[in-house]
């Protein structure tokens, strides 16, 4: 009964959005950015603002309020789209704009009736994918036909995708059942920074000033909705690595309980002293993660770095979410399923050949993705 009620409410929500979007709207010169991943979209927004100034409109989810507020101070319009009232207020602007950029899935798009000339561009929030998503995720496959149809309505609104590889083109086509959209092989926008020598030098200098010259290991697990007890043992990891190493850890922003656990451990540094994760990566000698998208950036940020995947719940995760076909088959030496395996691999710290990984996932990353996108937007502006 609860699921039926929830489905009905979602359908009514989209109906109201659709009715609002059917009303006439004047064309405008705004560039609309749908924001839900501040950590990955921060740099992209700053580059867009440099070019478009107050033409930029930020429609944000609640977790992105602080970043959006910065652009309000600069003179940009902002709308909190978790508020239905503000969402409805923003729809005429969206409908009248020629370009809309999305960093994620936004449910309201499924009910929005755009002009045929409107370009709705999915820039995404990762350069590659370890886990399945969209209609390929197991939780979506197990959802009702009505829910799946509603997801597809959103996917069908997307007219363009910015991708870093042919592999991601294939994954989007499969995950979103893409038929008519166009793929723009420009690269993953935030990855441009890793080709900027001045930015890299500054990031490394900041890291050295704050944390010294010890070898550095960073543990960055992905978010799990049903988190079992994470078996990572920093005491044993520190003992295996020795005094020449320092350990950093960062939980997903949506997992404060795990972050608190990390913060309580005396062997772990959780305060990055003002550095973003992206600024940390060039100085990290070994990255340990699982199903996160961080590795796709790490292999660009630090060509000499070591990469390990600690997937203690691999079998369960494969059942509930899903892993991209053959992902770990290409990196068998980097995968640890048990803590003992992880400690053994950390102790030996052998380099993993990441050339094939980069060729697969960072195919189009050349440092000019943002420039290519903005040139394309200018050429195709209605």
* Ordered mean pLDDT values, 10 residues apiece, the chain (382 residues): 70 91 92 96 97 98 97 98 96 95 97 94 97 96 93 97 98 97 98 97 98 97 80 95 96 87 94 97 97 95 93 94 92 92 90 83 98 96 70
Instruction: Report whether 321 contacts 132 (CB < 8 A).
Output: yes
Which architecture does CATH list for 196-361?
3-Layer(aba) Sandwich (3.40)
Query: How many other β-carbons are positioned within 10 Å of the β-carbon of residue 321?
Result: 20
pLDDT at 381: 81
351: which 2 tokens?
């380099």
Domains of the chain, residue spans: 2-188+365-379, 196-361
Q: What are phi and psi of 38, to 5 degrees?
A: -60, -35
Q: Report pLDDT for 355.
A: 84
pLDDT at 330: 82
What is the CATH number assigned to the segment(s) 2-188+365-379? 3.40.50.11820
Give the burial class of 71: count Cβ atoms within 10 A of its Cβ; 0-12 exposed, 13-18 middle, 19 or more buried. buried
What's the confidence (pLDDT) of residue 33? 98
DSSP of 138-199: HHHHTS-HHHHHHHHHHHHH--EEE-SSHHHHHHHHHHHT-SS-EEE-S--GGGGGGG-HHH
pLDDT at 351: 67
Task: Work out the angle at residue 61's Cα, subtended by the Cα atoms of residues 2 and 149, and round it to the nearest 5 degrees.
Answer: 45
Radius of gyration of the chain (CA): 21
Q: Do domains 2-188+365-379 and 196-361 have the same CATH topology?
A: yes
pLDDT in tens, 86-115: 999 999 999 999 999 999 999 999 999 999
Q: What is the pLDDT of residues 243-294, one digit of tens each?
A: 999 999 999 887 888 999 999 999 999 999 999 999 999 999 999 999 999 9
Specify the pLDDT at position 229.
81
89, burial (CB in 10 Å: exposed 0-12, middle 13-18, buried 19+): middle
Q: What local confidence, expressed as pLDDT, does residue 3 receive? A: 67
């Amino acid at each position: 009964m609860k699921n039926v009620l929830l489905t009905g409410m979602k359908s009514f929500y989209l109906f109201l959005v659709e009715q609002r979007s059917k009303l006439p709207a004047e064309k405008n010169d705004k560039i609309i950015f749908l924001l839900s991943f501040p950590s990955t979209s921060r740099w992209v927004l700053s580059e867009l603002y440099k070019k478009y100034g107050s033409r930029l409109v930020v429609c944000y989810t609640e977790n992105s309020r602080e970043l959006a507020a910065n652009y309000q101070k600069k003179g940009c319009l902002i709308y909190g789209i978790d508020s239905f009232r503000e969402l409805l207020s923003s729809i005429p602007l969206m409908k009248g704009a020629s370009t809309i950029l999305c960093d994620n899935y936004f449910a309201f798009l499924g009910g929005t009736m755009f002009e045929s000339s409107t370009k709705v561009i999915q820039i995404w929030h990762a350069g590659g994918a370890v886990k399945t998503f969209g209609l390929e995720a197991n939780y979506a496959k197990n959802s009702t036909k009505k829910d799946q149809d509603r997801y597809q309505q959103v996917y069908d609104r997307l007219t363009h995708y910015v991708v870093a590889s042919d592999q991601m083109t294939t994954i989007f086509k499969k995950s979103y059942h893409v038929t008519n959209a166009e793929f723009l092989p420009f690269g993953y926008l935030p990855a441009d920074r890793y080709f900027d020598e001045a930015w890299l030098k500054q990031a490394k200098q900041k890291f050295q000033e704050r944390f010294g010259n010890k070898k550095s290991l960073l543990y960055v697990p992905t978010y799990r909705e049903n988190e079992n007890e994470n078996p990572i043992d920093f005491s044993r990891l520190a003992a295996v690595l020795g005094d020449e190493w320092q350990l950093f850890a960062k939980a997903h922003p949506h997992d404060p309980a795990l972050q608190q656990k990390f913060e309580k451990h005396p062997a772990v540094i959780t305060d990055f002293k003002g550095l973003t994760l992206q600024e940390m990566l060039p100085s990290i000698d070994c990255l340990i993660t699982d199903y996160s998208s961080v590795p796709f950036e790490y292999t660009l940020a630090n060509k000499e770095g070591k990469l390990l995947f600690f997937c203690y719940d691999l079998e369960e995760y494969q059942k509930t979410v899903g892993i991209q076909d053959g992902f770990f088959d290409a990196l068998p030496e980097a995968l640890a399923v048990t803590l003992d395996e992880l400690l053994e691999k950390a102790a030996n710290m052998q380099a993993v050949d990441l050339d094939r990984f980069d060729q697969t996932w960072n195919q189009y990353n050349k440092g000019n993705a943002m420039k290519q996108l903005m040139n394309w937007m200018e050429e195709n502006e209605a």
